[in-house]
Amino acid sequence: MTAQHHNAQLFRSLHDSAAPLALANAWDAASARLVEAAGAKAVATTSAGVAWGLGAADGNHLDRDQAVALIRRVVDAVSIPVSADIESGFGATPADVADTIAQVIAAGAVGVNIEDASSDGTPGLRPVEEQAERIAAARAAADEAGVPLYINARIDTYLRAVGTEETRVKETLDRARAYLDAGATGIFVPGVTDAETVAALTEGIPAPVNILAGPGAPTVAELSELGVARVSLGSSVAEAAYAVVRRVASELVATGTYESLADAVDYNEFNTLMRG
Protein backbone atom coordinates (compact mmCIF):
# COMPACT_ATOMS: atom_id res chain seq x y z
CA MET A 1 0.00 0.00 0.00
CA THR A 2 1.38 3.42 -0.95
CA ALA A 3 1.46 6.35 1.47
CA GLN A 4 -1.17 8.08 -0.66
CA HIS A 5 -3.46 5.05 -0.54
CA HIS A 6 -3.02 4.91 3.24
CA ASN A 7 -3.82 8.63 3.55
CA ALA A 8 -6.90 8.16 1.37
CA GLN A 9 -8.21 5.43 3.65
CA LEU A 10 -7.37 7.50 6.72
CA PHE A 11 -9.13 10.56 5.32
CA ARG A 12 -12.26 8.56 4.60
CA SER A 13 -12.27 7.13 8.14
CA LEU A 14 -12.14 10.63 9.65
CA HIS A 15 -15.69 11.36 8.46
CA ASP A 16 -17.56 10.32 11.58
CA SER A 17 -20.58 12.12 12.99
CA ALA A 18 -19.53 11.02 16.49
CA ALA A 19 -16.37 13.12 16.07
CA PRO A 20 -16.71 15.30 12.96
CA LEU A 21 -13.70 16.15 10.83
CA ALA A 22 -13.14 19.88 11.43
CA LEU A 23 -11.32 21.66 8.59
CA ALA A 24 -9.82 25.15 8.69
CA ASN A 25 -9.35 25.47 4.94
CA ALA A 26 -5.90 26.44 3.68
CA TRP A 27 -4.88 28.17 0.46
CA ASP A 28 -1.11 27.80 0.27
CA ALA A 29 1.77 25.80 1.75
CA ALA A 30 2.24 28.18 4.69
CA SER A 31 -1.43 28.17 5.78
CA ALA A 32 -1.52 24.38 5.36
CA ARG A 33 1.49 23.94 7.60
CA LEU A 34 -0.05 26.22 10.24
CA VAL A 35 -3.22 24.13 10.14
CA GLU A 36 -1.21 20.93 10.58
CA ALA A 37 0.83 22.45 13.43
CA ALA A 38 -2.40 23.32 15.24
CA GLY A 39 -3.16 19.61 15.45
CA ALA A 40 -5.56 19.17 12.53
CA LYS A 41 -6.05 15.64 11.25
CA ALA A 42 -6.29 16.72 7.60
CA VAL A 43 -5.99 19.76 5.36
CA ALA A 44 -8.56 20.91 2.82
CA THR A 45 -7.98 23.74 0.40
CA THR A 46 -10.42 26.53 -0.37
CA SER A 47 -10.84 27.24 -4.07
CA ALA A 48 -11.58 30.89 -3.38
CA GLY A 49 -8.46 31.37 -1.26
CA VAL A 50 -6.33 29.51 -3.79
CA ALA A 51 -7.66 31.60 -6.67
CA TRP A 52 -7.23 34.90 -4.81
CA GLY A 53 -3.71 34.02 -3.75
CA LEU A 54 -2.82 33.25 -7.37
CA GLY A 55 -4.33 36.49 -8.66
CA ALA A 56 -7.64 35.19 -10.02
CA ALA A 57 -11.29 35.39 -9.04
CA ASP A 58 -13.09 32.40 -7.61
CA GLY A 59 -15.69 30.71 -9.78
CA ASN A 60 -13.88 28.80 -12.53
CA HIS A 61 -11.50 31.60 -13.50
CA LEU A 62 -8.30 29.94 -12.34
CA ASP A 63 -6.11 28.02 -14.76
CA ARG A 64 -6.12 24.30 -13.96
CA ASP A 65 -2.34 23.97 -14.21
CA GLN A 66 -1.93 26.67 -11.57
CA ALA A 67 -4.46 25.00 -9.30
CA VAL A 68 -2.80 21.59 -9.59
CA ALA A 69 0.65 23.07 -8.95
CA LEU A 70 -0.68 24.71 -5.79
CA ILE A 71 -2.23 21.43 -4.64
CA ARG A 72 1.13 19.73 -5.07
CA ARG A 73 2.84 22.40 -2.93
CA VAL A 74 0.26 21.95 -0.18
CA VAL A 75 0.65 18.17 -0.26
CA ASP A 76 4.43 18.49 -0.11
CA ALA A 77 4.18 20.89 2.86
CA VAL A 78 2.30 18.54 5.22
CA SER A 79 2.25 14.91 6.30
CA ILE A 80 -1.51 14.65 6.87
CA PRO A 81 -4.14 13.90 4.17
CA VAL A 82 -5.00 16.72 1.76
CA SER A 83 -8.34 17.27 0.05
CA ALA A 84 -8.48 19.73 -2.84
CA ASP A 85 -11.36 22.03 -3.72
CA ILE A 86 -11.43 21.84 -7.53
CA GLU A 87 -14.49 24.05 -8.09
CA SER A 88 -16.54 22.46 -10.93
CA GLY A 89 -13.69 20.22 -12.04
CA PHE A 90 -11.79 22.67 -14.28
CA GLY A 91 -13.38 21.52 -17.52
CA ALA A 92 -16.49 21.65 -19.67
CA THR A 93 -16.93 17.91 -20.13
CA PRO A 94 -16.82 14.77 -17.97
CA ALA A 95 -13.61 13.80 -19.79
CA ASP A 96 -12.09 17.13 -18.69
CA VAL A 97 -13.10 16.40 -15.11
CA ALA A 98 -11.51 12.95 -15.35
CA ASP A 99 -8.28 14.54 -16.57
CA THR A 100 -8.37 16.99 -13.67
CA ILE A 101 -8.84 14.15 -11.19
CA ALA A 102 -5.89 12.24 -12.65
CA GLN A 103 -3.70 15.33 -12.25
CA VAL A 104 -4.93 16.05 -8.72
CA ILE A 105 -4.21 12.48 -7.65
CA ALA A 106 -0.78 12.68 -9.27
CA ALA A 107 -0.20 15.81 -7.17
CA GLY A 108 -0.83 13.71 -4.04
CA ALA A 109 -4.33 14.72 -2.92
CA VAL A 110 -6.68 12.08 -1.50
CA GLY A 111 -9.96 13.99 -1.67
CA VAL A 112 -11.74 16.54 -3.83
CA ASN A 113 -14.74 18.84 -3.68
CA ILE A 114 -16.76 19.09 -6.89
CA GLU A 115 -19.58 21.63 -6.99
CA ASP A 116 -22.77 21.50 -9.05
CA ALA A 117 -23.24 25.24 -9.52
CA SER A 118 -23.29 26.27 -13.15
CA SER A 119 -19.91 27.47 -14.39
CA ASP A 120 -21.23 29.52 -17.33
CA GLY A 121 -22.25 32.54 -15.27
CA THR A 122 -25.92 31.60 -14.97
CA PRO A 123 -27.43 31.51 -11.46
CA GLY A 124 -28.73 27.96 -11.46
CA LEU A 125 -27.23 24.52 -10.95
CA ARG A 126 -26.17 21.98 -13.53
CA PRO A 127 -28.86 19.47 -14.47
CA VAL A 128 -28.66 16.48 -12.13
CA GLU A 129 -27.88 14.01 -14.93
CA GLU A 130 -25.06 16.20 -16.25
CA GLN A 131 -23.48 16.59 -12.82
CA ALA A 132 -23.83 12.88 -12.13
CA GLU A 133 -21.88 12.17 -15.34
CA ARG A 134 -19.09 14.46 -14.15
CA ILE A 135 -18.93 12.70 -10.77
CA ALA A 136 -18.96 9.30 -12.45
CA ALA A 137 -16.04 10.41 -14.62
CA ALA A 138 -14.18 11.54 -11.51
CA ARG A 139 -14.76 8.20 -9.82
CA ALA A 140 -13.64 6.27 -12.89
CA ALA A 141 -10.43 8.32 -13.07
CA ALA A 142 -9.72 7.67 -9.39
CA ASP A 143 -10.35 3.95 -9.84
CA GLU A 144 -8.01 3.95 -12.81
CA ALA A 145 -5.33 5.56 -10.64
CA GLY A 146 -5.92 2.99 -7.91
CA VAL A 147 -6.65 5.58 -5.22
CA PRO A 148 -9.87 5.45 -3.10
CA LEU A 149 -10.43 9.17 -3.61
CA TYR A 150 -12.93 10.87 -1.31
CA ILE A 151 -15.31 12.71 -3.65
CA ASN A 152 -17.21 15.34 -1.71
CA ALA A 153 -20.12 16.29 -3.96
CA ARG A 154 -21.11 19.88 -3.25
CA ILE A 155 -24.78 20.74 -3.67
CA ASP A 156 -25.46 24.47 -3.97
CA THR A 157 -29.23 24.45 -3.54
CA TYR A 158 -28.95 26.57 -0.40
CA LEU A 159 -25.97 28.67 -1.43
CA ARG A 160 -27.77 29.62 -4.65
CA ALA A 161 -31.27 29.68 -3.08
CA VAL A 162 -32.63 27.21 -5.61
CA GLY A 163 -36.40 26.78 -5.53
CA THR A 164 -38.33 27.60 -2.37
CA GLU A 165 -37.72 26.77 1.26
CA GLU A 166 -40.41 24.11 0.97
CA THR A 167 -38.80 22.37 -2.04
CA ARG A 168 -35.13 22.86 -1.24
CA VAL A 169 -34.69 19.90 1.11
CA LYS A 170 -36.23 17.50 -1.41
CA GLU A 171 -34.13 18.94 -4.24
CA THR A 172 -31.00 18.53 -2.13
CA LEU A 173 -31.84 14.94 -1.16
CA ASP A 174 -32.65 14.03 -4.76
CA ARG A 175 -29.35 15.43 -5.95
CA ALA A 176 -27.47 13.73 -3.14
CA ARG A 177 -28.87 10.33 -4.07
CA ALA A 178 -27.98 10.82 -7.74
CA TYR A 179 -24.44 11.94 -6.92
CA LEU A 180 -23.87 9.07 -4.50
CA ASP A 181 -25.14 6.61 -7.10
CA ALA A 182 -22.64 8.12 -9.55
CA GLY A 183 -19.71 7.53 -7.21
CA ALA A 184 -19.57 10.38 -4.70
CA THR A 185 -18.35 9.48 -1.22
CA GLY A 186 -19.94 12.29 0.77
CA ILE A 187 -22.22 15.28 0.33
CA PHE A 188 -21.37 18.94 1.03
CA VAL A 189 -24.26 21.36 1.52
CA PRO A 190 -22.96 24.90 2.12
CA GLY A 191 -25.31 27.74 2.97
CA VAL A 192 -27.40 26.04 5.65
CA THR A 193 -26.77 25.76 9.40
CA ASP A 194 -30.21 25.80 11.08
CA ALA A 195 -30.67 22.71 13.20
CA GLU A 196 -33.96 21.50 11.73
CA THR A 197 -32.74 21.57 8.14
CA VAL A 198 -29.33 20.10 8.94
CA ALA A 199 -30.99 17.23 10.82
CA ALA A 200 -33.30 16.58 7.87
CA LEU A 201 -30.31 16.44 5.53
CA THR A 202 -28.23 14.08 7.66
CA GLU A 203 -31.24 11.82 8.19
CA GLY A 204 -32.04 11.70 4.49
CA ILE A 205 -28.52 11.33 3.07
CA PRO A 206 -26.97 7.85 3.48
CA ALA A 207 -23.40 9.19 3.48
CA PRO A 208 -21.22 11.63 5.45
CA VAL A 209 -22.63 15.16 5.34
CA ASN A 210 -20.38 18.22 5.27
CA ILE A 211 -21.63 21.59 6.54
CA LEU A 212 -20.01 25.01 6.05
CA ALA A 213 -19.66 26.83 9.38
CA GLY A 214 -18.64 30.25 10.61
CA PRO A 215 -19.55 32.87 13.20
CA GLY A 216 -23.10 32.32 14.43
CA ALA A 217 -23.26 28.69 13.25
CA PRO A 218 -23.65 25.78 15.67
CA THR A 219 -20.42 24.49 17.19
CA VAL A 220 -18.76 21.34 15.92
CA ALA A 221 -20.14 19.49 18.94
CA GLU A 222 -23.66 20.74 18.20
CA LEU A 223 -23.36 19.78 14.54
CA SER A 224 -22.18 16.35 15.63
CA GLU A 225 -25.40 15.90 17.56
CA LEU A 226 -27.27 16.71 14.34
CA GLY A 227 -25.44 13.95 12.49
CA VAL A 228 -22.85 16.04 10.63
CA ALA A 229 -19.60 14.20 9.84
CA ARG A 230 -17.51 17.06 8.45
CA VAL A 231 -17.37 20.77 9.26
CA SER A 232 -15.55 23.20 6.97
CA LEU A 233 -14.71 26.88 7.29
CA GLY A 234 -14.31 27.36 3.53
CA SER A 235 -13.03 30.69 2.27
CA SER A 236 -13.63 32.48 5.58
CA VAL A 237 -10.13 31.74 6.91
CA ALA A 238 -8.53 33.36 3.85
CA GLU A 239 -11.02 36.22 4.10
CA ALA A 240 -10.03 36.80 7.73
CA ALA A 241 -6.34 36.75 6.80
CA TYR A 242 -6.84 39.26 4.01
CA ALA A 243 -8.89 41.43 6.37
CA VAL A 244 -5.70 41.79 8.45
CA VAL A 245 -3.84 43.00 5.36
CA ARG A 246 -6.53 45.58 4.63
CA ARG A 247 -6.66 46.70 8.26
CA VAL A 248 -2.89 47.10 8.52
CA ALA A 249 -2.63 48.93 5.21
CA SER A 250 -5.52 51.25 6.04
CA GLU A 251 -4.07 52.11 9.44
CA LEU A 252 -0.64 52.79 7.96
CA VAL A 253 -2.05 55.11 5.27
CA ALA A 254 -4.51 56.88 7.56
CA THR A 255 -2.49 57.37 10.75
CA GLY A 256 1.06 56.19 10.13
CA THR A 257 0.74 53.71 13.00
CA TYR A 258 1.11 49.94 13.19
CA GLU A 259 -1.09 48.65 16.02
CA SER A 260 -2.94 46.29 13.70
CA LEU A 261 0.23 44.21 13.51
CA ALA A 262 -0.19 43.10 17.11
CA ASP A 263 -0.57 39.35 17.69
CA ALA A 264 1.28 38.43 14.51
CA VAL A 265 2.88 34.99 14.27
CA ASP A 266 6.47 35.31 15.50
CA TYR A 267 8.99 35.42 12.64
CA ASN A 268 11.38 32.85 14.11
CA GLU A 269 8.55 30.50 15.06
CA PHE A 270 7.05 30.71 11.59
CA ASN A 271 10.37 30.36 9.79
CA THR A 272 11.25 27.32 11.88
CA LEU A 273 7.87 25.81 11.05
CA MET A 274 8.44 26.33 7.33
CA ARG A 275 11.86 24.65 7.49
CA GLY A 276 9.99 21.49 8.42
Complete domains list, the chain, with CATH: 3-233 (3.20.20.60)
Identify the CA nearest to 43 among candidates 114, 120, 108, 121.
Answer: 108
pLDDT at 121 over 70: no
pLDDT value at 124 more than 90: no
**Is pLDDT larger for residue 165 or for residue 82?**
82
Which residue(s) pair with 230 in the sheet? 21, 210
DSSP H/E element including 48: helix 47-53
Band of pLDDT at residue 276, cut at 50, 70 and 90? confident
Instruction: Report, as an integer, the average pLDDT of 245-265.
Output: 97
Q: Quickly state the pLDDT bin for 119 (edges 50, 70, 90).
A: confident
Tell me the pTM: 0.96
Q: Is the pLDDT of residue 44 over 90?
A: yes
Average pLDDT over residues 62-73: 97
Q: What share of the chain is helix, strand, coil (3-state, %, to 5)?
A: 50, 10, 40
**Chain mean position to CA 275:** 26
The region of weakest confidence among 113-122, 235-244, 245-254 is: 113-122
